[in-house]
């Protein structure tokens, strides 16, 4: 088959969707021809491209076509919207000219599913929608936009795109519940998790890089990754203040749109540290540095965003603190498997007490770490990509 993949970000962009788009394209290219239609790199890319109208790169069965979208920094909303709109305005005419058997769209830009459904309908091709973050629910729940007529219109168009999709691929059971609640046939919704490549060895916590990340705290509560609109950040920093005298440190490794607000919330708290992203080769050391790893989703966003950071944590054999609503995917996994503990995203006192109890019980922490490593194979990346590919192939055959 010939598969057209629509996503604005693609390496050298370093966003999560860029990395996932590359993995999906490479997996599909083992048996099929893939054309990726992306924009000029703009998401903290490892390399910058000069302006061009259209650029084509061929790597085996993968052809990457990049349209000449703008490349403003992602942290400024006006610039980011410009990147979105210029990408779509140039990508749609090109997509209509590509003779593909299946149209596959991700969620960059946030209305990519609507665009993908339109392209598929106009070309008479089946449409597969891989939802990474659920919009406009994400924008509303994260406070990026307010309820309005145009947001209602966005939602209506999105529901039409969902109904047009031959398959909707989502990241977790909670997201599946959300999609089904929008009127989509459950038989057309497939859960395919991001998964992780299982490492053969895991660095010890005594590794020099891990020790540097620990910042001298006896017990480290670690959040590694993007600091976006989805997390219960204020609750976490309030919990850290309650833990200042217990030798517990909350360490953030990463950056994101709401980091300034989190820093303001943690101002004056000696138990909170902010560190920059580490190079990819040091990620195992980052994972080894935490005694307890935080995965957080604020109330109202369960099923809207499904944090993929859970799977590397499990693969590293580290226990999980799920600060998320009870029906979120991460809490379901933690409770079902015993790989960590769950806490209310609106209860800093409860989080602080749960962390205190675990900090005094190294045997229980070790048991949770072992359970994390044991279940990590359930979310092996190879297995998940195989499910993804089989879903696409089923649509193509039909």
Per DSSP (E only), the strands in 255-393 are 272-275, 292-296, 320-323, 340-343
Domain match, 17 and 160 both: yes
Give residue 148's domain range: 2-195+380-397
Domain match, 96 and 37 both: yes
Give the pLDDT score at 141.
Answer: 86
Give the pLDDT score at 89.
Answer: 97
Query: How far is it between the farthest Cα atoms of the chain?
Result: 64
Domain match, 384 and 361 both: no
Domain match, 317 and 271 both: yes
Domain match, 185 and 312 both: no
Average pLDDT on 387-397 reads 94
Number of domains in the chain: 2
Token pair 């989703």 in the structure block, residue: 297
Does residue 200 fall inside a structural domain? Answer: no
Rounded to whole angstroms, the Cα distance separating 133 from 176 reads: 12
Tens digits of per-residue pLDDT, 291-320? 999 999 999 999 999 999 999 999 999 999
Tens digits of per-residue pLDDT, 25-80? 999 999 999 999 999 999 989 899 999 999 999 999 999 999 999 999 887 889 99
pLDDT exceeds cutoff 80 at 359: yes
Average pLDDT on 335-339 reads 97
Average per-residue pLDDT for the chain: 95
Domain match, 237 and 375 both: yes
Does residue 39 fall inside a structural domain? Answer: yes
Domain match, 242 and 136 both: no
Asked whether the beta carbons of 29 and 2 are under 8 A apart, the reply is no
Domain match, 179 and 238 both: no
Q: What is the CATH number of the domain that holds 97?
A: 3.40.50.2000
pLDDT exceeds cutoff 80 at 398: no
Give the pLDDT score at 223.
Answer: 98
Average pLDDT on 246-250 reads 96
Confidence bin at 394 (pLDDT 50/70/90): very high
Domain match, 318 and 247 both: yes
Check residue 364 and give left, alpha or beta (phi > 0: left; psi -120 to 50: alpha). Answer: alpha
pLDDT exceeds cutoff 90 at 287: yes
Average pLDDT on 228-254 reads 96
């Amino acid at each position: 088959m010939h598969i057209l993949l629509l996503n604005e970000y693609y390496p050298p962009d370093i966003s999560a969707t860029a990395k996932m788009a590359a993995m999906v394209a490479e997996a599909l290219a083992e048996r099929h021809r893939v054309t990726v239609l992306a924009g000029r790199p703009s998401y903290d890319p490892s390399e910058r491209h000069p302006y061009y109208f259209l650029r084509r790169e061929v790597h085996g069965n993968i052809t990457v076509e990049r349209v000449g979208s703008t490349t403003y920094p992602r942290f400024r909303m006006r610039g980011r919207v410009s990147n979105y709109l210029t990408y779509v305005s140039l990508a749609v005419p090109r997509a209509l000219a590509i003779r593909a058997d299946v149209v596959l769209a991700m969620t960059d830009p946030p209305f990519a599913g609507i665009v993908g459904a339109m392209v598929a309908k106009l070309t008479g091709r089946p449409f597969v929608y891989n939802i990474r973050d659920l919009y406009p629910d994400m924008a509303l729940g994260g406070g990026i936009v307010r309820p309005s007529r145009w947001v209602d219109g966005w939602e209506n168009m999105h529901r039409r795109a969902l109904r047009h999709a031959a398959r909707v691929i989502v990241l977790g059971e909670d997201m599946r519940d959300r999609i089904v609640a929008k009127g989509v046939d459950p038989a057309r919704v497939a859960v395919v998790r991001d998964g992780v490549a299982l490492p053969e060895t895991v660095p010890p916590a005594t590794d020099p890089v891990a020790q540097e990340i620990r910042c001298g705290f006896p017990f480290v509560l670690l959040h590694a990754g993007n600091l976006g609109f989805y997390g219960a950040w204020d609750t976490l920093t309030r919990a850290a203040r309650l833990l200042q005298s217990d030798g517990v440190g909350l360490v953030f490794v990463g950056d994101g749109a709401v980091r300034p607000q989190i820093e303001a919330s943690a101002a004056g708290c000696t138990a909170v540290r902010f560190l920059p992203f580490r190079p990819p080769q040091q990620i195992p050391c980052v994972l080894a540095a935490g005694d307890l790893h935080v995965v957080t989703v604020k109330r109202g966003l369960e099923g809207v965003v499904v944090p993929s950071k859970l799977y590397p944590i499990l693969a590293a054999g580290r226990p999980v603190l799920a600060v998320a609503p009870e029906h979120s995917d991460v809490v379901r996994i933690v409770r079902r498997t015993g790989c960590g503990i769950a806490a209310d995203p609106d209860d800093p006192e409860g989080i602080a007490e749960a962390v205190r109890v675990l900090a005094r019980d190294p045997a229980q922490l070790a048991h949770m770490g072992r359970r994390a490593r044991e279940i990590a194979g359930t979310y092996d990346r190879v297995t998940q990509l195989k499910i993804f590919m089989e879903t696409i192939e089923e649509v193509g055959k039909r």
